[in-house]
Amino acid sequence: MNGLWSFFTNKHDQILSLLGQHLYLSIVSVLVAIAIGVPLGILISKHKNLSKPIIGAANIIQAVPSLALLGLLIPFIGIGSTPAIVMVVLYSLLPIVKNTYTGLTNIDADILEAARGIGLTKSQTMKKVQLPLAFPMIMAGIRISAVTAVGLMTIAAFIGAGGLGYLVFSGVQTVDNNMILAGALPACILALLIDYIVGKLESSLSYKSKQQAAASKSSKSPLKKGILLSATAILVVGVGATAIYSKTDAKDTITIGSKNFSEQIILGNMVADLIEDKTDIHVERKMNLGGTQVAFNALNTGDIDLYVEYTGTGLVNILKKPAINNPDEVYKTVQQEFQKTYGIELLKPIGFNNTYALAVRQDTAQKYKLNTISDLANVSNKLVLGPTIEFPNRNDGLIGLAKTYNMQFKDVKAIDGGLRYTALQNQESDVIDAFSTDGLLEAFHLKVLKDDKGFFPPYYAVPIVKQDTLKKYPELKRTINMLAGKLTDEKMRELNYRVDSLKEDPAKVAKDFLQKEKLID
């Protein structure tokens, strides 16, 4: 508990900022869902032949995994807050639409007949009778959607939208339970708070409350209701205005991205700090994006302007070309194809080669006498592989590796981020994929197996940037190339170790390195 309290104390500014983002995104999503869902519910209550297809479509959307839905939205909407809001809106529709429909269609027929008997039109009956009576049911759907929205919005960090999920994802990557709790606990409290506020709104706005207030002629209930509504409105407008202002103020910035592991976040901050120090360009940071495809698609569509990629990943995973072992040839091929196909420029390599590796516990290495991947192949049918989620689906990962070494694992249990190290340590898996510069390799005292057949291509870290961005800001190329050759494998492993094992802030680690190398003041 002391460690968690210390984390909250040291990172309170960041936690409050992410909490504000999370609140804004959640409230906007729910308000949009209400604006769509309630009218839809009213529509299908009037035209019951539409109820099955509309509620069926909402059910289908609800069944789609959230990450899969985000992946489908990214090519069309990009990254950031927009796809996150769209995702949460789509998931929030079912309880709102269904509860509105159910509430309106379950009203006693005698009541509706009485309304017609006193001369009310259909629209008047809906406004004065049906909606007030269905209100508790409608609000129940909204409460469910509001609480669900807060939980779902943690995934927004996966595509650079911010929110408390940033801390959760970062904590998972670095095996930092305090960081995970620092994101999860405020999200839980926020969900409970929103549920409480919506419950109070439901109570104060309900038909029965209005009747009681009118009967007692009390001014306290309307006053409380007014204060509650005003406070909620001020909160939404205030947070929204802050977000809008930040976006408006950032219209002339360039956006630096990174993938979702420590090394990438360090490099992203390093590039951003260097640009801010050496130029007048403003920088927006969208770190911790969910993997290669998310980061590259974001660059390709213009949602970010620059991030650090790896030459081997560009060759095999993005360009889908066969692996090449010559580093210069890999760089030249990727450079030419990125320019021609995507309008993306490769700058000078930063220096280190973060190639893939396979690692095992020391006891596993001793038991099976493992030194090379060929040794592993001979006993792979007895072992469980616990790789990152990307690794089994990449040609430069398990697909090609299994063919080259003729290996077949007993089972493959993909676990993303630093959790795969925890699973290995807990003997839930026997082998993991790692990167040669991972700080956690040293922290967990793992045995790295030699790639004796030279399967893995070179993965030299290289900044990639849109050519349109370079035309607009020509000084970027000279500035970023100041990093060329500055980071060796050993230096990068040390920086990763400081983040992954010593729990230092990646932004601080990046700045310390730049100052030590006298690249910034």
* pLDDT, tens digit, 9 for 90 and up, residues 63-110: 888 878 887 887 788 888 888 899 999 999 999 999 999 999 988 888
CB-based burial of residue 322 (10 Å sphere; 0-12 exposed, 13-18 middle, 19+ buried)? Answer: exposed
448 touches 441 (CB < 8 A): yes
For 292-318, write each residue's pLDDT tens digit.
Answer: 888 998 999 888 999 999 999 999 889
| pLDDT interval class at 244 (50, 70, 90) | very low
Q: How far apart are CA 460 and CA 396, in angstroms?
A: 14
Half-sphere exposure of 30 (CA within 13 A, CB side): 24
Q: Is 138 left (phi over 0), alpha (psi -120 to 50) or beta?
A: alpha
pLDDT band at 438 (very low <50, low <70, confident <90, very high): confident
Mean pLDDT over 3-28 rounds to 84
Is residue 351 predicted with pLDDT exceeding 50? yes
What stretches of 259-389 adopt beta strand conformation (E)?
283-286, 306-310, 344-346, 356-360, 384-385
Question: Does the structure show a pLDDT above 80 at 203?
Answer: no
The torsion angles phi and psi of 449, rounded to 5 degrees, stand at -85, 140
Looking up tokens 């929205």, which residue turns up? Answer: 149
Instruction: Tell me: pLDDT of 228 over 70.
Output: no
Return the half-sphere exposure (C-beta side, CA atoms, 13 A cut-off) of residue 442: 16
Q: Report pLDDT digits (tens) over 32-57.
A: 999 999 999 999 998 889 989 999 99
pLDDT tier at 231, thresholds 50, 70, 90:
low
Q: To 10 degrees, the CA torsion angle through 393, 394, 397, 400?
A: 100
pLDDT confidence tier of residue 328, bands split at 50, 70 and 90:
very high
**Alpha-carbon distances of 270 from 228, 249, 289, rounded to whole Å:** 45, 22, 16
- In order of their start, the domains of the chain are 2-191 (1.10.3720.10), 254-353+459-516 (3.40.190.10), 356-449 (3.40.190.120)
Position 211 scores a pLDDT of 54
Most confident listed range (6-20, 176-190, 358-372):
358-372
pTM: 0.73
Q: What pLDDT score was predicted for residue 238?
A: 54
Distance CA(113)–CA(464), nearest Å, equals 69
> What is the per-residue pLDDT for 323?
83
Backbone angles phi, psi at 61, to 5 degrees: -60, -40
Rounded to whole angstroms, the Cα distance separating 203 from 496 reads 52
